[in-house]
Amino acid sequence: MTRRHDGHHDTHARILTEHQELLESSISEQLGPLAGFLVHALNRRGPLTLKEVADAVKREPFNNPLHTGDATKHIGCPLAVPVTAGDMATDAAIKEVMARLVLHRVVCYDTENHVYSVALGYGLFLRTLFPLVMQFFQRRYGETGVTLLMVFYQLATVPRDAAVRLAMERRPALSEALRHCAHEMERLGFIEYFSAGGSAEAAATTTTHSTGLSPDPCRLHVGNILAEMLHDAIQQQLLAERFADGGVAAAVMEAFTTATRTRRLEERSHGFPPVHPRTSASLPLRVLLREVPMAEGVVVEAVSRMCRPDGDSLLSNDGTATVAIEGPYRFRYDAAIEAMQRDCCERLVFARHGVLGVRLMKLLLQHHNMEDRMLAEEAIATLSRTREVLHAMLRDGYVRQQEVPKSGVMADRQPKNSVFLWGCSMEKDLLPAVRMQVAKALRISLARLSVERQTATSKVASFTTTTTTGSNNNNNHHNNCCAASSTAATSVAAGLSLTAGIRGDTGEVIAETLRCQRAVAALESSVSALMGTMLVLDFY
């Protein structure tokens, strides 16, 4: 029991480490090396006061951005402290960067103990996974929503009317649409108000509505945005794939969603945004029939299937046996999240171990413990191939192996006197391993994407320089030809040779540029898929 508990603790620690390294790389890329270094110090040492953070950063001997020159050049701030000022420049840079990290909710400040700590969930969502938020606003509000969203993303905290004014300055043609979008964001609770004199970490967990413009600053409400993104994910990733009449199931879920939007979100562990309630408000069948504008028989059939296991038990029926069809019903968001997480695990197992790996995973999840011979028979595969895939999945952490003695004598532990059973648990084995691998793959993919983007940019610059140089050479050669008509034949031959050389070099540059662009597009697609998977596994 102790060994199993230690293994579970080690897995949790590895997941936490991968998430911390992912956040550190994202912060270093977006807010500068010094910001990433401060987050690294807080991750490794835990909550610290500002002086303790500064001392820890100054003492760090490896990869310290403070040792590379003027610390203020690592942050985009108006501070102009010369490097000769020594500790004064360092302290000013650390204070400025820490204030920015608190403003962007990467770091939270404890007013009672006066210490800073990393808000891991908020940081990952608002910095690493923010492209998914942009895609969500793009689908729902178009360019108008993205413009307004980017104001909050860049400034973090700003009064509502100031945010709208800045957005209208960026897109004057969308002024009226921006006002309407801001009203919709406020109505759905995507922005939250808080007093300027209060703590920056005191966030409401309910949807609030304001009757007028408030002078208080506001910011993005991560919990409500996550809840709406969950609704979209259920419709697109679950209902559309599970149900042939996905539109009916989506309309049924929308009825429950409308009734649940005003409910209080559920708090999570420190540093993570609140989550959606596990179940919706209850609605009787007659209300569903009134809210869903479709034929009664179609709605009843969809509701009936959503209550069954083949519909992932997305609805629960709270009615008695005599009037069970009348309800009331609840939408089980927890069941929907479990189904999406199971799909994510299946996709990753399929990518690494093929169809046989998915079959073995499903068999072990259903029967819990099985011998390899029985697994091979049920999966319709050879015993050698089954053992090969099982050991590969064991190395990945997807399954576990347990030795069970054939006799009751525990001292007799020779392999020939034991049976080795294979097992798999979604919560203890599969889900932690997949979460860790997705976080690691996303960190590596983001680093590769950054390198490929820089390479593509340099290739484009090289292509532009080559084209400009070739054009200038052609013009100079043409002028020389006009001035020296006696050597016309020689000049024409030299000009053709020069043009052919330029075209050859240009063709090579174009081919290399296209290769870099294709690599960037492929990595962007991979990163987007990994971000979506991480959102399902760690935030819903």
- Say if 489 falls within a structural domain: no
In a domain? residue 292:
yes
Residue 495 lies in a domain: no
Q: How far apart are CA 77 and CA 374, in angstroms?
A: 65
User: Sorting pLDDT into bands at 50, 70 and 90, what band is 411?
Assistant: low
Q: Where are the alpha helices (DSSP H) in 380-430?
A: 383-396
- Please count the other Cβ atoms lying within 10 Å of the Cβ belonging to residue 426: 15
Residues of the domain holding 61: 12-125
State yes or no: cis peptide before 328, omega within 30 of 0: yes
Q: What share of the chain is helix, strand, coil (3-state, %, to 5)?
A: 70, 10, 25
Query: Do 259 and 321 have their domain in common?
Result: yes
> Which pLDDT does position 264 carry in this prediction?
76
pLDDT score, position 492 = 43
pLDDT at 6 over 70: no
Do 83 and 177 fall within a single domain? no
Whole-angstrom distance, CA of residue 117 vs CA of residue 397: 31
Two tokens, residue 284: 């009787």
What's the confidence (pLDDT) of residue 7? 57
The 3-state DSSP class for residue 289 equals helix
> Has residue 5 been placed in a domain?
no
The yes-or-no verdict on residue 351 having pLDDT over 80 is yes
Residues contacting 152, CB < 8 A, separation 6+:
158, 163, 191, 219, 220
DSSP H/E element including 220: strand 217-220
**Distance between CA atoms of 285 and 378, rounded to whole angstroms?**
41
Residue 486 within a domain: no
208 and 140 housed in the same domain: yes
Among 191, 220, 249, the domain-final residue is 220
- Torsional sign, CA 43, 46, 51, 57: negative
Nearest CA among 426, 432, 407 for reference residue 418:
407
- Please state whether beta strands 107-110 and 329-331 pair in parallel, antiparallel, or not at all (unpaired): unpaired
Q: Find the length of the chain.
A: 540
Nearest to 458 by CA among 519, 522, 512: 512
Q: Are 16 and 120 part of one and the same domain?
A: yes
DSSP β-ladder status, 400-405 and 418-423? antiparallel
Look at residue 200 in the predicted model and tell me its pLDDT. 40
Domain boundary among 331, 359, 385: 331
For residue 219, CA distances in Å to 85, 97, 128, 153, 155 come to 36, 19, 18, 9, 9
The helix (run of H) or strand (run of E) holding residue 318 is none
| Residue 475 pLDDT level (bands cut at 50, 70, 90) | low
- To which residue do tokens 């108006």 refer? 78
Q: At what angle do helices 383-396 and 333-367 cross, to 10 degrees?
A: 130
Q: For the chain, what percent of residues have pLDDT higher than 90?
A: 34
| CA–CA distance, 110 with 47 (Å, rounded to integer) | 9
Q: List, in sequence order, the alpha helices (H) in 261-332.
A: 285-291, 296-306
Residue 463 sits in a domain whose CATH number is: 1.10.287
The answer on 41 and 88 residing in a single domain is yes
Q: Give me the phi and psi of 49, to 5 degrees please.
A: -75, 170
Q: How far, in Å, are 195, 356, 367, 401 from residue 386 at the CA level?
A: 61, 8, 17, 14
Measured in degrees and rounded to the nearest 5, phi and psi for residue 331 equal -85, 125
Does 184 reside within a domain?
A: yes
> b/e for 478-498, b at 16 or more Cβ within 10 A?
eeebeeeeeeeeebeeebeee
pLDDT of 245 higher than 70: yes
120, 134: one domain: no
Q: How confident is the model at residue 280 (pLDDT cuts 50, 70, 90)?
A: confident
Residues sharing a CB contact under 8 Å with residue 84, sequence separation 6 or more, in sequence order: none
Residue 145 has a pLDDT of: 92
Q: Give the CATH number for residue 92.
A: 1.10.10
User: In whole numbers, what is the pLDDT of the chain averaged over residues?
Assistant: 80
Can you tell me the distance from the alpha carbon of 214 to that of 261, in angstroms, rounded to the nearest whole number?
23
The residue with greater pLDDT, 498 or 18, is 18
- 7-21, 289-303, 492-506: lowest mean pLDDT where? 492-506
State whether 406 and 418 are in the same domain: yes
Cβ contact 348:361 at 8 Å: no
* Residues 229 and 133: beta-carbon distance below 8 Å: yes
Asked if 304 and 408 sit in the same domain, the reply is no
Running DSSP on this structure, what letter comes out for residue 426? I
Q: Are residues 16 and 116 in the same domain?
A: yes
Domain assignment present for residue 172? The answer is yes
Strand partners, 300: none
Which residues make beta-bridge pairs with 219? 192
Which pLDDT score, from 0 to 100, does residue 503 have?
55
Task: Determine the pLDDT at residue 22.
Answer: 94
Name residue 325's beta-bridge partners.
Answer: none
pTM across the whole model: 0.80
Cβ-based neighbours of 179, under 8 Å, separated by 6 or more: 164
Residue 40 falls inside a structural domain: yes
Per-residue pLDDT, 240:
84
* Overall average pLDDT of the 66-80 stretch: 51
CB 336 within 8 A of CB 312: yes
Are 30 and 104 in a shared domain?
yes
Q: What is the DSSP letter of 192?
A: E
Q: Are residues 111 and 140 in the same domain?
A: no
Task: Report the 3 state secondary structure along 143-185.
Answer: HHHHHHHHHHHHHCCEEHHHHHHHHHHHCHHHHHHHHHHHHHH
Q: How confident is the model at residue 416 (pLDDT cuts 50, 70, 90)?
A: low
Q: Name residues whose C-beta falls within 8 Å of residue 458's C-beta, 6 or more positions apart in sequence.
A: none
Identify whether the C-beta of residue 72 lies closer than 8 Å to the C-beta of residue 80: yes
Please list the alpha-helical segments (H only) found in 79-142: 87-103, 120-123, 130-141
Q: What is the 3-class SS of 27-81, one letter each residue?
A: HHHHHCHHHHHHHHHHHHHCCECHHHHHHHHHHCCCCCHHHHCCHHHHCCCCCCC
Domain count, the chain: 5
Domain final residue pick, 167, 188, 220: 220
- Does residue 117 sit in the same domain as residue 144? no
